[in-house]
Amino acid sequence: MINPEAEREVNRLINVLKELGVKFKSLIVFGSAARAEGFKPGVSDVDVLVVVDSITDKLREAERIVGKPLELGFITPWQLQELWSSGDPLVHMLWREGVAVVDDGFFTRLKSKGKPEVTEYTVMKLRFWGLKDLAKAMKPGVDRASGLRSLHHAIRNFARARIAREKGVFAITDLEVEENLNPQVLPRYRDFMSRLKRNMEYYEQLILEALDVAEAVDGKPLPKIHEIMSCCEA
């Protein structure tokens, strides 16, 4: 069941796509907007994946018109099938919590193939997401609210990567992460995430500690800072 506020945004997107003459096979809502809890109107993004036959300039125009809080992705059927085969984190989320608001049968047929596997690519992509979120948090001029959200996403993605690597499990929610994370690093993970929520410390200090926590949670050395920042350009 989609959050009512998110549903209004999705309907707005559908109207824009129709006005632009964009034909699509499936429109799938996932993330907190598709869960019974966790979605915060005015704060949370509304994650939407639109399956189209081809990528055109009209899609960029649609993205420009709708703006936030919609977080849009456009993909072709072939691309989504490839991601399903590779075990991309996106398809794990779609499998677990994706709600097809519009579907010509493509997404239903794709899901009938069965649960995607947790692969080395799953782990690699989650780690890349963590690095990209760190880069967003360290980007000059980032506002505090966006930066704190990026730090939360970064540390959670590093934890997800470790869980996938060690247990072959794809954890989505914060609760699932805590239930599956290596107990040796769980206390530090919990402490840092709670401090982010309290939002009472200097942002620069949180950034420095986030780098250390990310490395501890991931269990692997992080790239150098300039290499992390290059993720913003990827």
Nearest to 97 by CA among 164, 6, 19: 6
Domain layout of the chain by residue ranges: 4-111, 120-233
Q: pLDDT value at position 201?
A: 77
**Cα-based distances in Å from 154 to 78, 130, 157, 178, 221:** 29, 4, 5, 15, 15
Nearest to 46 by CA among 14, 92, 85: 14
Do residues 111 and 105 lie in contact, with contact meaning Cβ atoms separated by under 8 Å?
no
Give the model confidence (pLDDT) of 129-142 as tens digits: 999 999 999 988 88
Give the model confidence (pLDDT) of 205-219 as tens digits: 899 999 999 999 999
What does DSSP assign to residue 70? E
Give the model confidence (pLDDT) of 53-91 as tens digits: 888 888 888 888 877 778 889 999 999 999 999 999 999
What does DSSP assign to residue 183? T
Q: pLDDT value at position 125?
A: 96
CATH of 4-111, one of 2.40.50.180, 3.30.460.10, 3.40.190.80, 1.20.1250.20: 3.30.460.10
